[in-house]
Amino acid sequence: MEVRLNERHEVLEKNKPVESLTGIELEKLLLMHQVIRKEFGDKTKKLQSWREILLSIKPPPDIVPWTLEDEQKPSCLQDVQIKSEDTALGRKIALKKNKN
């Protein structure tokens, strides 16, 4: 994640005119402002989206870095045993058995 942040800041530091930004550079900038990738479209659409962001003078949202504590939260779930009856597939199989 930190690599992506650095890449986006590098694009900004180049101080290139908006029209000379490549499609990949525009994508990095749009992702920094949490624009959904599906909405990117072609380069013209990306340029339009980036211009709108620039005109709005909207700063990118704060990104909270992933911490060791965040990493440990899901690791406790690895020890949980899940029975097949507790899954959608397990319930579907149980329903079929009950019908027969």
Q: What residue ranges of the chain have pLDDT lower than 50?
A: none
pLDDT recorded at residue 20: 86
pTM score: 0.53
CA distances from 14 to 35, 72, 94 (A): 21, 38, 61
With beta carbons less than 8 A apart as the criterion, state whether 27 and 43 touch. Answer: no
pLDDT recorded at residue 5: 67
pLDDT recorded at residue 89: 93
pLDDT recorded at residue 18: 84
